[in-house]
Amino acid sequence: MTELALTRHAEVRLSQRGLRDADISFLMDVATPLARNEWLLTNADVDREVTRHKQEIQQLQRLRGVKLVVAGDVVVTAYHSCGRDQRRTLRRGRHAR
């Protein structure tokens, strides 16, 4: 959850309305701020987030299987890795990040 504490009233209302602790942080991140302490998730907010996530999904699908090699702070290469290369690389094990 967020660092915010919940009053007993808020705990009861969240439970009654099917809202989770994680929903609070999410709302504060994507909803329209109305005042310093109020947010409203508008239709425009939802449409914006759906579009953004669709674009991320398309990007993930486009980049599936791409292998990126970096040395320090320099990109050495990037290429579409074939299935055999992926299996061989994964079999060798992942290096610590």
What is the mean predicted confidence (pLDDT) over 35-44?
94
CA distance 82 to 38: 50
Terminal alpha carbon distance of the chain:
27
Q: In the structure, what pLDDT confidence band is assigned to residue 97 with cuts at 50, 70 and 90?
A: low
Question: 1 vs 94, which has greater pLDDT?
Answer: 94
> What tens digit of pLDDT does each residue of 75-92 get?
999 999 988 888 888 888
